[in-house]
Structures are given as C-alpha cells and as structure tokens.
Amino acid sequence: MTAPAAEDNLMTLKDACEIVFRGKIKVATLRAEIGRGNLTVFRVGRRDFTTLKHVREMVQRCRVESPLRGSISTEEGETGLSETDRRTSAQAALNLTLAGLKRRSPNTSAPNTDRLPARRRRSSISS
C-alpha cells in the first residue's frame, strides 16, 4: 500500500497555523472558520485534524473579491457625472428638509390684547 499524498495527510489545527499560515493566524481563527462552515475537520477524541487540501479550499471560500468600480456606484449600476449630480441634488434637498425641521415653528397663539379679566358678579342670594 502506498503512502497517502501530502495533500491528504492529517495535521492538527496548530500545525496548520504554523505550516500553512506561518504563524500569522491562531487556532481560534481556524475554529471560527470551522463554525462558519469554511473548514472541514476530523475529530479524533478531543483533537481536531484537517488536511492541506481542506485548508486550501477554505482559503478559496474566504477570498474577498475586490470592488469592480473605483468611482461612485449605485445599486442599479449607473455611474457617471449625471448620476453624481442626481445624488448631490438629492442630498442637498435632504439637507434643506433637515434645516427646516431644526428651525423653530412660528407662533400659532393669538397675540396678547391686554384685556382685563372678566369680573365676577356677586350673588344676590344671602346665606
């Protein structure tokens, strides 16, 4: 029987950190990736093992794609000067609305006429 290929040799998570990542990540990071479903492990007793192949697959799953555009982008995929102008004018309208909301409301009470209060009549009934 032939020895298994190096890609399929089992290694501990600590070994994977040291060999594959040269100590730049910790075992806790690999455990987090296990929890996210990105890294396949084999549990023997209380120890977790993985293979070089599974670590490489994890790296592919965790790869972050760079954004396609360096300029302003929208959900609809529109770009360019007119889109920038539209967004700028929408932001200016929002700022005007906010400024209006921050101002004090005008006084809605009737102006004071300095009238004398009404006098009460005395009751003519005696107790």
Q: Does residue 50 belong to any structural domain of this protein?
A: yes
Q: Does residue 100 belong to any structural domain of this protein?
A: no
pLDDT tens figures, 8-36? 899 999 999 998 999 999 999 999 999 99
Angle at the Cα of 101 (from 110 to 89), degrees rounded to 5?
135
Number of domains in the chain: 1
Task: Print the domain residue range for 41.
Answer: 6-62
pLDDT tens figures, 82-114? 666 777 888 888 888 888 888 887 777 777 766
Rounded mean pLDDT, 27-56: 93
Residue with tokens 């040269």: 22
> Do 72 and 79 meet the contact criterion of CB atoms below 8 Å apart?
yes
3 state DSSP class of 51: strand
